Chain A
Amino acid sequence: MRLIILEDASVVADWAARFVLQRITQFAPGPGRHFVLGLPTGGTPLGMYRRLIDFYKEGRISFKYVTTFNMDEYVGLPRDHPESYHYYMWNEFFKHVDIEPSNAHVLDGNAPDLVAECKRFEDLIAAAGGVHLFIGGIGPDGHIAFNEPGSSLVSRTRVKTLAYDTLEANKRFFGNDISKVPRQALTVGVGTVMDAKEVMILITGAHKSLALAKAVEEGVNHMWTVSAFQQHAQALFVCDEDATLELRVKTVKYFKALSEEHQRMIAGVPVHEQRVLH
């Protein structure tokens, strides 16, 4: 596992976008050779999307041969509802770049058969040859996607009933009316993300610092589902200074000492050479 500690949220956004740029460029996607990207929504990755759009406009990156899979979506929320993840992805990313509509996959929370929809999604990922890079954020309780505390660490894409805490936390997006917050969501499982060749988790802000500490300093624990990635061969956590508040000084110093190596990850060093870094 790598922990990359950067100055603030904007540097995290820039670093993450550069990392995606580097990975896609190295992969050299083309017809019949798609780079497969797993994508999150929410406030944390927003800056990364904006930087990627900049790169696209500057002609440094194309998404023509990129296939994407989004982590989650609410059940029963209209697709064009401003809080739906379809809406988010369209407005914050898809509409700005050259991705093919048929290659952008978002779970359909309005599917008549939700279980079949989850299976279809897993099958699509398999058909795409698995995910090359899964990007995620985490909640203050350490959840990844909608894998809330207690979720199985080998779970697959499925329907989840949301915990009361999540409804409470999300009601601010629904006019502070908890009855308007969808009760269920479709989400990829921890196992689904674990299958990706590489995983990048973005964590910014002091309110995520406890979750980060639990994720990297303590053991693997289903009450902090993101801690599962300690057992991933190629996981990296990218955080800002604020998110390190609950980490031990030793942990922070250890990873900061490696920062020169980490910068090489976005500097055009071939992926196979990076595998020997840690």
Chain B
Amino acid sequence: MKPKSGLTRFHNCFILRDSKIIKEDLWIRDGKIENPEQVFYVEQLQADVTVNCEGLLIAPGFIDIQINGGWGVDFSYDSENVKEGVRKVSKELLSHGVTSFCPTMVTSDLEKYRKILPLIKKSDGGEHGATVLGVHLEGPFINMAKKGAHMEEYIKTPNEGLKTVEEVYGSLDNVVIITLAPELPGAYEAIKDLTQMGIKVALGHSTASLAEGEKAVECGANLITHLFNAMLPFHHRDPGLVGLLASTTKQQVFYGIISDGIHTHPSALRIASRTNPEGLVLVSDAVAAQGLADGNYRIGPQLVTVEGGRAYVTGTKVLCGSTTGLDECVATLKRSLDCSLEYALEAASLHPARALGIDDRKGKLNFGYDADFVMLDPEQIKIKSSWIAGECVYKCDKN
């Protein structure tokens, strides 16, 4: 009897590695991706388990850095059973190929931050659900003029920089991204201090000029929240935040894009992607109605009707947020851009990992990386199974 090597080999598959889809086996052990060549020559071991993938494509697990809820759960509203809500969404996300995500809270009152924030802890994923990378706080330090659906009465200015930010949110322990408007008083100081602490700052819900945007980037901001939405439209004399895509600042600026086929016109997607291909980060920006069957619901303070998978404010044709999973966003992006499948997949995995600075362990299928991945049908971009730390956490029953 040979000793157990603890190695699993996935074969008869294609994998996305170094931005290319190649015919290659994937080897994993102890939740990490292994280098089989080194296992063969140095350790002289063989795999305990060999999985025949029947020609499927293995891609890094998707990372959603902006998701407000889903399946009836609203992260910003349900303060009574936060843990249950996060658990539910994280479980459901697995079927969309999302293996890590940032639960996102929109502008809320102080009490909600106090109640909800401490309960959304960073946690490792598994069969129970996707990895919680940390919370994305969208607001309240946003520009009133670009508030979108955010509640006006809770909007604030970060007058005293980090001090105000901490006063409003309470502890920042569970936070990884903060979306704010850089033109607000105290914002630059806040950006400097937050990014020093390792929190990523995203610019959004803002009327910032390009100069203000560039200054924010110099202070450490590296993201733009849902590009084109809730910011000044592109103007040739002052391109505003959109201009950051082609700015001469040295840092790579990433930008969230909702490619659900509704929020951003395909042509706008192409403009963004061609100007700054490496910065495109797919986000679902999904709301509580994501994943619900057609019918009437009460989500937070709102009555919502779901019809054909789209969520409307009941009695109107007003869309109340995206209801599209990240897997569909990948498919839509590919269609809209007519880009390679590699690029579309990396926009949902490698790019967000880079934006968060976790691309040393997630977002790629390189040796030593976390074995978070999806198996998909490359033709239809359909998730067949999702894996976290080498464990199968979701399997599609349907063919």
Contact = CB atoms under 8 A, between A and B. Distances in A.
Interface of A: 79-80, 86-87, 90-91, 94-95, 100-102, 104, 106
Contacts of B43: 101
A91 B37 CA distance: 8
A95 B41 contact: no
Nearest to B37: A90
Contacts of B38: 79-80
A101 B44 contact: yes
B44 A90 contact: no
Given A80-B35, A101-B39, 5 more contacts: A91-B37, A101-B41, A101-B43, A104-B40, A106-B41
Contacts, number: 31
B4 to A, nearest CB: 15
A102 B46 CA distance: 10
B136 to A, nearest CB: 38
A102 B3 CA distance: 14
Contacts of A87: 37
Given A86-B41, A90-B41, A106-B41, A95 B46 contact: no
Nearest to A86: B41
Contacts of B44: 100-102
B37 A79 contact: yes
A80 B40 CA distance: 12
A25 B42 CA distance: 30
12 contacts: A79-B37, A79-B38, A80-B38, A86-B41, A90-B40, A91-B37, A94-B40, A95-B25, A100-B44, A101-B39, A101-B43, A104-B40
A21 to B, nearest CB: 22
Contact of A100 (B25, B36, B46): B46
B37 A86 contact: yes
Q: Which one of A79, A80, A101 has the highest number of Cβ atoms from chain B below 10 Å of its Cβ? A: A101
Interface in B39-92: 39-41, 43-46
A79 B25 CA distance: 19
Interface in B7-30: 25
B126 to A, nearest CB: 30
A90 B45 CA distance: 14
A29 to B, nearest CB: 18
Contact of B46 (A79, A101, A106): A101
A79 B40 CA distance: 12
- Mostly, the A contact residues are helix
Nearest to A102: B44
A200 to B, nearest CB: 25
Nearest to B35: A80
A124 to B, nearest CB: 14
Interface class of chain B by DSSP? helix
Contacts of A86: 37, 41
Interface of B: 25, 35-41, 43-46
Contacts of B36: 90, 95
A100 B25 CA distance: 17
B314 to A, nearest CB: 58
Contacts of B45: 101
Contacts of A102: 44
B46 A80 contact: no
B40 A101 contact: yes
A80 B44 CA distance: 15
A52 to B, nearest CB: 17
A192 to B, nearest CB: 21
A104 B41 CA distance: 8
Nearest to B43: A101
| B25, B40, B43, B44: most-surrounded residue (chain A CB, <10 A) | B40
A79 B41 CA distance: 9
Contacts of B37: 79-80, 86-87, 90-91, 95
Contacts of A94: 40
A229 B36 CA distance: 37
A91 B41 CA distance: 12
A91 B45 CA distance: 16
A274 to B, nearest CB: 34
Contacts of A104: 40
A104 B40 CA distance: 9
Nearest to B40: A101
A100 B41 CA distance: 10
Counting from the closest, the 4 A-B pairs by CB-CB distance are: A101-B44, A102-B44, A90-B37, A101-B40
Contacts of A100: 44, 46
Contacts of B25: 95
Nearest to B367: A80
A93 B290 CA distance: 48
A102 B5 CA distance: 14
Nearest to B27: A95
Nearest to B45: A101
B227 to A, nearest CB: 39
A102 B38 CA distance: 13
B91 to A, nearest CB: 36
B260 to A, nearest CB: 41
Nearest to B9: A95
B25 to A, nearest CB: 7
A106 B37 CA distance: 13
A20 B399 CA distance: 42
Nearest to A80: B37
Contacts of B46: 100-101
Q: Which of the listed residues B35, B41, B43, B45 has the most CB atoms from chain A within 10 Å of its own CB?
A: B41
Nearest to A100: B46
B175 to A, nearest CB: 39
B360 to A, nearest CB: 19
A161 B131 CA distance: 54
Nearest to A106: B41
Contacts of B41: 79, 86, 90, 101, 106
A91 B23 CA distance: 11
A247 B40 CA distance: 43
Contacts of B35: 80
A100 B44 CA distance: 8
A95 B38 CA distance: 11
A104 B36 CA distance: 14
